[in-house]
Every structure is written in structure tokens, then in C-alpha cells.
Amino acid sequence: MDKLKKYLNAYVNDPLDPYINAQLGEEYELIGQGAAAHSYFLRAAELLHDKDPEMAYCCLLKTWKQLHNTTRRLEWEKGQLQTAVAYFPQRPEAYLHLSLHYSKKEEWKDSYMYACLGLLHQNKTPLPYDIGYPGDYMLIFQKAFTSWYIGQRQESKELWTQLGNMKGILPEHMEIIQYNIKTLGDNSPTLNKINFKIISGKNVILENYLTRT
């Protein structure tokens, strides 16, 4: 709360400082006040539009995250992610979340497409605020997952193997990767449910993924 008071005092003195607005958004998010966080991040994005595009992009994604946490406005979420891509297409994060969005709907080709597009923009410096992006490997994960469902099964197997040999993957993600490598090798006809976790700040988002061989 001390940080929140500090930035509120700074805001009173300079309400048009975009970085103060963004920091206020971050502090409100940390205490679970998503509506307030959304308001300040949106204002920061507007103020930074022509001044600092990458930071504006980050703030746009933070507005998406506030609504994503409510799980109630999926179409608005998609639109906000598409806005972020259109505004600043040189970064991978919005592509990943669009790929995840379409995976939920089992729209595999769209999900695969966004994973492939995101992979064109790897190796970027991390954004200043967390938006639920574990790393570039997650785009490979999505490509491996969705390629299975669009008939690219050899590609899927090769990508799972590639992921299994990579460093820096969160343990819970590596567990899924190793599970899929084993399952694909067994050629089992059964439907297997696994939990995929994105750890984002204080939020743990569980997605149920189904893998079939």
C-alpha cells in the first residue's frame, strides 16, 4: 500500500505522466483491483501511443489481462489482443495469447497460425510488466499442440522432441512436454487430459488441454 500511496501522490501532481499511470495500474492489479488497474493502464497506453510504442503495447496487454482475469468477455479479449498486434506487431506476446484463445475454442488452424506468427518475433527484451508470457518456448508448445490437430503429426512429434531438449522451461510445462513425448511414442488411442499452467504474478490460470494420438 505504501507504493500505491506514493504513486497516487505523484499522480495528483502530474496526472498526464504515462509512466505514473502505468505504475498505478500495476499497483492496483497487485491488490486485486482490476477495474482501477484497467483504467490506469488504458490511460497510459493512450498517452504513450506516439511517445513509447513498446510501453504502450505493454499497457494494452495489461488492459487485456484485467478482463482476462474475469473470464467473462472473451470476444472483447480477442479484440484487445488483435489491437495490440495491429499497433505493435514486432513482439510475440499478443500472438501467444491469441493462439491460446483459439485453442480454447478448438479452432486449431487459427491457433496454429498465431503461434507461427509469434515465432517470427522471438528473442525480445522482456516487457516491464508481467502479462503471462513464460518465454518464447510457449509459442513452440502451441505450435506443437495445434499442429497435431491440423494433420501435421510428424511436425508435432518433432516439436515436442525439440521442447524436451530445451533449457529454461518451467517445470510444470516440462512435465507436460515429457508426457506428450511419451504418449505420442506409445501411439495410444485414448484421450488424455493434462493441466497446463500459466503463472502470472499472483494469478494461476489452469487450462485443460486434451492431447490425442
Instruction: Please say if the pLDDT value at position 168 is more than 70.
Output: yes
Q: What is the pLDDT of residue 165?
A: 95
Do 150 and 109 share a structural domain? yes
Higher pLDDT, 193 or 8: 8
User: 22 and 110: one domain?
Assistant: no
Tell me the average pLDDT of the chain: 86
In terms of Cα–Cα distance, which of 210, 80, 66 is closest to 130? 66
Q: Helices H, strands E: what count in the chain?
A: 10, 2
Assign 117 a pLDDT band (cuts: 50, 70, 90). Answer: very high
| Side chain identity, residue 151 | G
- CB-CB contact of 42 with 63 (8 Å): yes
- Per the structure, the complete domain to which residue 148 belongs is given by 89-213
CATH number, domain with residue 8: 1.25.40.10
CA 109 – CA 132 distance, rounded (Å):
23
Helix 18-30 crosses helix 2-13 at what angle (to 10 degrees)? 150
65-100, pLDDT tens digit by residue? 999 988 778 889 999 999 999 999 999 999 999 999
What are the angstrom distances between the C-alpha of 41 and each of 66, 92, 205? Answer: 10, 20, 21
* pLDDT over 60 at 210, yes or no: no
In the predicted model, is pLDDT for residue 51 greater than 60?
A: yes
Q: CATH code at 209?
A: 1.25.40
Q: How many domains does the chain have?
A: 2
Task: Using the structure block, give the residue that is written with the C-alpha cell 486449431.
Answer: 108
